[in-house]
A and B are shown apart, each in its own frame.
Chain A
């Protein structure tokens, strides 16, 4: 299966993308250059700064640097515009001490993968993806947003996998009226229009809940509605495998029921399940994003991609500050990457594909 997956080039590339994103989510504190909640009055809506290697004379400098900003107020619109100032050069350093943070809330540290280092004067802008309306660093916010958005995908899918395998397995293995009841429930859940149900469930959550409760609540809501697809897949596999000759052979040689299920049936569809999970994760991420985008899911100060996109909900953003839409690009990238990995896994798991 591994070799067959290897042949699916796009899926392999996307696997690296997914892994990269999860590493980012895991080490957000270190990877983000700045504190995502630090407000800066000097640089509101600052555009992304480019990392440059050539100075204005065309000389190559091995150490990349960023240019500072010259800010001026447009007399007509009263908007502050930022123009790169070639006279202010700040070299970019890697693994440098910067702002202090608690890594995973446990260990104090101040090392950042990328930053200007302690030599740069205070209030030097370093916003590779620009800033938002409060002057907060977008790159750091996206990195922290990845942690929430991606973990919701994983936890949500894990929960729905538990529901799905349990209910789908019972449904497929025992059949009969249990099967009928579970299938009717699945059909009912599937027939509910998702967004109104999310809205209702999200509205049912007390607004006074602390952010981490809301986070958990949203995850549970998403997985309560998301298990049906997996349950169907599991049930279908159980139904098909139950009739296989090798399962009958196992039964005839006195194999116990758990042994038949876990030794003969589950391995036959484990790869299939893994592929389905991979395809279900982006659904979860998208659900969280859309919920938060609608203002029903996570709320500031929690940072998730949906929350970030919520701030980019107006025409002003699209016209003047397009870098606020970058979280959307991150969503698209991770969802596509997951889908291709899932496709690759599914093809690799399909015993009939060649």
Chain B
């Protein structure tokens, strides 16, 4: 077990393999609901409720789901922007070896943060409007004592070139740039520390469609050049299909299906995935897909349905779905599904070629 673990790090986490970079097990984040004069806790929003996944080195793990399904919360737990309510996130740090992020000490966290960075959704809110690009991109270098003075200047110029911006823009402020350019600045900042893992929280959903493609290509290009690993949070399935190696589908705080991209899109095993995929628009005007309209609303995460969270809206629900929570099981190599009827059903995916 301890064979590949460096001396300083902990042992390999259970369920990890040689090429895993991050292993999350039974991750939970419950936000307390406070009410009344004394702010008593009257309940919890179970934003993330028992999520487990592995991220392999060099891959892009797509995280999809509707608004409020917990995908952004999951991504922020990985960065420890929030402290999880429970569960472990083991990260294989370059220097420290396997480290559990939620319980990492302050000094360890400093090191982890150099290796795990984030690209934000909103290119307007994520850049300090009162700092120049040099200050924004150079800050991680300065704060972590990596470069200063003219070395910092050179590194910032290099990073700007890397993301396709002119280094001469360095002394300008973010307001001088368009959304796409700002997003490039955000990417440059995330890459400044040469991280291993980059968490992309809907990095293109705030951008123009024409700019989306450019930004996605940039991200793919950078991944190839720098050997990055991405956790890619999105709600646009076509974007996810384009960039991801594997995709995890989330529904009300849980992963319902996790599979390699092609498997998931062409042969989904979970009814929710099927419904999501039926909503993907096809460019063929003659194509009349069988759009599955889900009845009802996304359930309230503070009071989710019993059993399988999806059962009130599921076309295939049976009695077992109401009473017992389906575990996430591996049906085919690398294809995990949490559905009682996954083996019986044959579900429609995206039509190949569309």
Most B C-beta atoms less than 10 A away, residue of A249, A268, A351: A249
Q: A246-B125, A268-B129 are in contact. Are A252 and B143 (CB under 8 A)?
A: no
B47 contacts the other chain (CB 8 A): no
Interface pairs (30), CB distance under 8 Å: A245-B121, A245-B125, A245-B126, A246-B128, A249-B120, A249-B126, A249-B186, A249-B189, A251-B81, A252-B79, A252-B117, A252-B118, A253-B113, A253-B140, A253-B144, A253-B192, A254-B110, A254-B113, A254-B114, A254-B140, A254-B143, A255-B139, A255-B143, A256-B143, A259-B143, A264-B128, A267-B130, A268-B128, A268-B129, A351-B129
Beta-carbon contacts of A305-344 to B below 8 Å, as 1s and 0s? Answer: 0000000000000000000000000000000000000000
Q: A252-B79, A254-B144 are in contact. Are A245 and B122 (CB under 8 A)?
A: yes
Counting contact residues on chain B (CB < 8 A from A), the size range is 20 to 34
In the complex, what distance in Å separates the CA atom of A248 from the CA atom of B119?
Answer: 11
A250 contacts the other chain (CB 8 A): yes
In the complex, what distance in Å separates the CA atom of A55 from the CA atom of B189?
Answer: 77
B127 contacts the other chain (CB 8 A): yes
A-B contact count (CB 8 A): 51
In the complex, what distance in Å separates the CA atom of A264 from the CA atom of B139?
Answer: 11
B193 contacts the other chain (CB 8 A): yes
Nearest A residue to B119 by beta-carbon distance? A249
**B128 cross-chain contacts in A, Cβ below 8 A:** 246, 250, 264, 268
Beta-carbon contacts of A83-119 to B below 8 Å, as 1s and 0s? Answer: 0000000000000000000000000000000000000
**B186 cross-chain contacts in A, Cβ below 8 A:** 249
**B192 cross-chain contacts in A, Cβ below 8 A:** 253
A187 contacts the other chain (CB 8 A): no
Residues 230 to 261 of chain A near chain B (Cβ within 8 Å): 244-246, 248-256, 259
**B118 cross-chain contacts in A, Cβ below 8 A:** 248-249, 252
Nearest B residue to A255 by beta-carbon distance? B143
Task: Give 10 new A-B contacts, CB below 8 A, not counting A253-B189, A254-B114.
Answer: A244-B125, A246-B128, A248-B81, A250-B139, A252-B79, A252-B118, A253-B139, A253-B143, A256-B143, A264-B128
Which DSSP category, helix, strand, loop or mixed, fits chain A's interface? helix
**A268 cross-chain contacts in B, Cβ below 8 A:** 128-130
Contact (Cβ within 8 A) B144 A245? no
Query: Measured between C-beta atoms, what is the minimum distance from A10 to chain B in Å?
Result: 27
Residues 280 to 321 of chain A near chain B (Cβ within 8 Å): none
In the complex, what distance in Å separates the CA atom of A268 from the CA atom of B174?
Answer: 14
**A259 cross-chain contacts in B, Cβ below 8 A:** 143
The 6 closest A-B pairs by CB, nearest first: A253-B140, A245-B126, A245-B125, A246-B128, A245-B120, A267-B130
Nearest B residue to A265 by beta-carbon distance? B128
Most B C-beta atoms less than 10 A away, residue of A244, A250, A251, A253: A253
In the complex, what distance in Å separates the CA atom of A251 from the CA atom of B139?
Answer: 11
Nearest B residue to A259 by beta-carbon distance? B143
**A254 cross-chain contacts in B, Cβ below 8 A:** 110, 113-114, 140, 143-144
Query: Measured between C-beta atoms, what is the minimum distance from A123 to chain B in Å?
Result: 62
Query: Measured between C-beta atoms, what is the minimum distance from B208 to chain A in Å?
Result: 19
In the complex, what distance in Å separates the CA atom of A51 from the CA atom of B143?
Answer: 66
Beta-carbon contacts of B15-59 to A below 8 Å, as 1s and 0s? Answer: 000000000000000000000000000000000000000000000
